[in-house]
Amino acid sequence: MEKIAPSRVRFGGFELNLQTGELRSQHGDGGNGLILREQPFRVLKLLLERPGKMVSRDEMRKTLWPNDTIVNFDHSINVAIGILRRALSDSADKPRYIETLARRGYRLLVEVEVLQSAALPQLPRLQIAQDLPPRDEIIGKKVSHYRVLEAIGVGGMGVVYSAEDLRLGRRVALKFLPPAVANDETTLLRFEREAQTASTLNHPNICTVYEVEEQDAQPFIVMELLDGVSLSHELDQSVSHSLSATRIIEIALQVCDGLQAAHTKGIIHRDIKPANIFLTTSGPIKILDFGLAKLIDQEDVVGVPALPASIENTEGGRLSGSASKAIHTSITVAGSKIGTASYMSPEQIRGAPLDPATDIFSLGLVLYEAAAGRRAFEGEDATLVHNAILSQTPLAPRRVNPSVPRQLDAVIAKALEKDRKRRYSSALEMRRALEQVRADSTLKPSRRQLSILAASVLALVGTGTALYRRAHPRIVLSPNDTVVLATANETRDPVFDDALYSTLYFGLQQTPYVHVMQTVKLQEAMAEMHIANDAKITPEIGRQVCVRTNSRMVIEASIANEGNNFRIEMKGLDCKSGAILAAVEEGVPSRTQITHEAGQLLAELRGKLGEPPDSVNAYNKPLDIALSASPEALQLLMEGYRGILALDIPAALSDLNRAIAVDPNLAMAYTALAGMEDKIGLHSLAVEAAKKAFTLRDRVTQPVQFQIDNVYYQAATGDQEKNLSVLAKWVQLYPDDFIAHTNYGISLLTVGRLDQALSEARESVRVFPSPWSYDSLAYVYIVTNRFEEAAATIAEAERLNFDNPDLRNQKFILAFLTKNEPGMQEQSSWAVGKPHIDHRFLFAEAMVQGYYGRFADETRLTNSSIEMADKGGDSATTAKYGDLLALDRAEIGDEAVARKLAAKYSIMVQNANTLPILALAFARAGEPAKAQKIMDELDLETPLDTIVQHYYLPTIRASIMICNHDPKGAIDALRSTSPYELAAPESFNGIYPAYIRGLAYLQTGQGHLASLEFQKLIDNPGLTGRDVTAALAHLQVARAETMEGNPAAAQKSYETFFALWKSADASLPIFQQAKIEYAHLHAKA
Residues involved in catalysis: 271
Question: Cβ(889)–Cβ(858) under 8 Å?
Answer: no
- CB-based contacts of 611, cutoff 8 Å, min separation 6: 452, 453, 456, 511, 513, 514
Q: Is 811 annotated as a binding residue?
A: no
Q: Residue 909: CA atoms inside 13 Å, Cβ hemisphere, count?
A: 13
Please list the residues that pair with 224 across neighbouring strands. Answer: 172
- Angle between helix axes 953-963 and 915-924 (nearest 10 degrees) is 20
Q: Quick one: 460 exposed, middle or buried, by C-beta within 10 A (0-12, 13-18, 19+)?
A: middle
Question: Cβ distance 294 to 270 under 8 Å?
Answer: yes
Distant-in-sequence, close-in-space partners of 760: CB < 8 Å, separation ≥ 6: 406, 731, 741, 742, 744, 745, 748
**Is the CB of residue 607 less than 8 Å from the CB of residue 507?**
no
CA triplet 897, 902, 904: central angle to 5 degrees?
95
Give Cα separations from 860 to 32, 544, 812, 842, 864 (angstroms). Answer: 89, 54, 20, 10, 6
Residues whose CB is less than 8 angstroms from the CB of residue 123 and which lie 6 or more positions away in sequence, other chains included: 22, 24, 31, 32, 33, 34, 35
Q: Is the distance from CB of 452 to CB of 610 less than 8 angstroms?
A: yes
Q: Which of 420, 551, 574 has the alpha carbon at shortest distance from 484?
A: 551
In eight-state DSSP terms, residue 516 is B
Residues 6+ apart with CB under 8 A from 230: 68, 69, 70, 71, 274, 275, 276, 277, 278, 279, 288
Give, in order, the Cα–Cα distances in Å from 252 to each of 68, 177, 206, 230, 305: 21, 30, 13, 14, 34
- For strands 14-17 and 98-101, give the pairing: unpaired
CA of residue 1029 relative to chain centroid, distance:
30
Determine the number of helices (DSSP H) and then strands (DSSP E) in the chain: 48, 23
Confirm if 1000 and 1006 have CB atoms less than 8 A apart. no
One-letter-per-residue 3-state SS of 487-507: EEECCCCCHHHHHHHHHHHHH
How many whole angstroms from its chain centre is CA 490?
A: 49
Residue 20 CA to residue 15 CA, distance in Å, equals 12
CA 723 to chain centre: 23
Helix-helix angle 702-711:667-679, to 10 degrees: 30
The DSSP secondary structure of 778-823, one letter per residue, reads HHHHHHTT-HHHHHHHHHHHHHTT---HHHHHHHHHHHHHTT-HHH
The residue type of 486 is A
DSSP state of 376: S
Which of 1006, 1068, 1072, 1078 shows the shortest CA–CA distance to 1038? 1078
Q: For residue 101, what are the β-bridge partners?
A: 105
φ, ψ dihedrals at 315, nearest 5°? -85, 160
Q: How far is CA 80 from its chain centroid?
A: 38
Residue from 704, 772, 783 nearest 750 by CA: 783
Binding-site residue numbers are 175
Annotated binding site for ATP: 175
